[in-house]
Amino acid sequence: MLIYDIRFLFIYMFFVGNLIFVSKNKHLLVVLLSLEFIVLSIFFFFLVLLMFIDYDMYMLMVFLVFSVCEGSLGLSILVSMIRSHGNDYFQSFSML
Amino acid sequence: MFFFILTNNNSNKMFFLFILFFSTLISISSNSWFGCWIGLEINLLSFIPLISNSKNLLSVETSLKYFLTQSLASINFLFMILIKFSLLKNFDMNNIISIMMNSSLLMKMGSAPFHFWFPNIVEGLSWMNNFMLMTWQKISPMILLSYYFNKNFLIFMIIMNLIIGSLGGLNQTSLRKLLAFSSINNLGWMIFSIMISENLWLFYFLIYSMMIFMMISLFFLMNMYFMNQLFINNMNFFIKLNLLINFLSLGGLPPFMGFMPKWIIINFLLINKFYFLTFIFMMTSLIIIYYYIRIIYSSFMFNYFKMKWVNLLMKNNMSLINLSSFISISSMILSTFIFM
């Protein structure tokens, strides 16, 4: 894909991450990995943005802290699901 | 609700509840969009421990679905904030960026067309968690919506909300899903009221949350989750009367409390010549009142057998039920003293 501007890379990464999130997967872990991929694309975008306007990177660190918290929350829900269902397959959702 | 939390040795629930309240305040009072995103993230982080506390399969699945939809919505929201910042579109609200930001906020609220997670999750939560989900979790996305909205997109979303909320509840037998679809319908009213003025939204939201609180506390005290439980046990007359009054008030019938905010919104609609939208609001309200009356008709009018194994200990604390009925009936007059 021809890139004339660096912004296309972020939008491409973002859309690919969203595409994997909404695709039919066998495991839950793939969905959580796609979330982390979107976070990575936002991290990259944030970095380039802050570099272009010569800001300090404090906001980037705050963003990183919050996305790591959210990723660990996702993993803890995965662990809770494995403890109750036995696996992390999507086919074991039968209640709702 | 706090009494219930204090008596069950659940001090960690109080802690997460405090952080939940605080996160909404962070989100709506921040100087920049990044602060809003931080508030939404802390909201998610503190609501998940509140709902995933019991050790059955249903609560795990519920918290998983809630986590996935909310985190996707807030990550998309942040990406759109960054694009808006980089393209310097702070005041131009008629573009695709405002549509994307509004879409992610609508997904956080559970509004149509992103509503598919909402009845599922409401089915899996207890009544008090449902109350938090239906009332408090809507505050911060709504106020953020009012900061940067695309008017045409939102009017289309309002129409979808009303239609899906009214037609979706027709085939439900679970009380939680019924209230979920009613909540989606009321979201349509609330989004329109926040487009008019934030004061009007606050009025509608307070009255709506009071009505929902009365209904949910009634269902919680009687431990009722399904519609057949309403008319299998022969309840006390005042409980049935309270149920009737609360359901009709939620539907928006005139002498009750729920009519007042809808009346003001319809007044605004007709003065400003939004005739088609008025038609949609009216017709969907009619469908909602139909399925409320379907429930309370069989519960209120008929006399069922009194089963000996159902022991409803409601004889001692009837004063709260009478008080809530009184508030629902007389609030039309009382509210004019507060807000006018």
**Partner residues linked to B329 by β-bridges:** none
Instruction: Please state, in angstroms and as integers, the Cα–Cα distance from residue B160 to each residue in B44, B189, B324, following that order.
Output: 26, 11, 32
Per-domain residue ranges for chain A? 1-93
CB within 8 Å of B309: residues ≥ 6 apart: none
Question: What secondary structure letter does DSSP report for B29?
Answer: T
**CA–CA distance, B16 with B63 (Å, rounded to integer):** 15
**Closest of B267, B144, B256, B166 to residue B211, by C-alpha:** B256
A19 touches chain B (CB under 8 A): no
Contact partners, residue A12, CB within 8 Å, separation at least 6: A1
ipTM of the complex: 0.93
Domain A1-93 fold is Helix Hairpins (1.10.287)
Q: Return d(Cα B162, Cα B270) in angstroms, integer.
A: 18
Q: Is there a contact between B75 and A35 if contact means CB atoms under 8 Å apart?
A: yes
Q: Does A42 touch chain B (CB under 8 A)?
A: yes
Interface of B with A (CB under 8 A): 34, 38, 41-42, 44-45, 48, 52, 55-58, 60-65, 67-68, 71-72, 75-76, 78-79, 82, 85-86, 120-121, 123-124
Chain A CA closest to residue B55? A84
Mark yes or no for CB contact A39/B75 under 8 Å: yes
Instruction: Quote the number of domains for chain B.
Output: 1
> pLDDT tens digits for chain B (340 residues)?
555 555 555 778 889 999 999 999 999 999 999 999 999 999 999 999 998 877 677 888 899 999 999 999 999 999 999 999 988 888 888 889 999 999 999 999 999 899 999 999 999 888 989 999 999 999 999 999 999 999 999 999 999 999 999 999 999 999 999 999 999 999 999 999 999 999 999 999 999 999 999 999 888 888 889 888 887 766 777 888 888 899 999 999 988 989 999 999 999 999 999 999 999 999 999 999 998 998 888 888 777 776 666 666 565 567 777 888 888 888 877 777 776 5
Q: Do A96 and B124 touch (CB under 8 A)?
A: yes
Look up the domain containing B322 and give its range: 1-339
Neighbours of B296 (CB within 10 A): 19
C-alpha–C-alpha distance, residues B214 and B207, integer Å: 11
Closest Cα in chain B to A92: B61
Are B264 and B211 in contact by the 8 Å Cβ rule? The answer is no
Among B30, B74, B78, most A C-beta atoms within 10 A, so best to mutate, is: B78
Q: How far, in Å, CA of B219 to CA of B213, rounded?
A: 10
Contact, B219 vs B175, CB < 8 A? yes
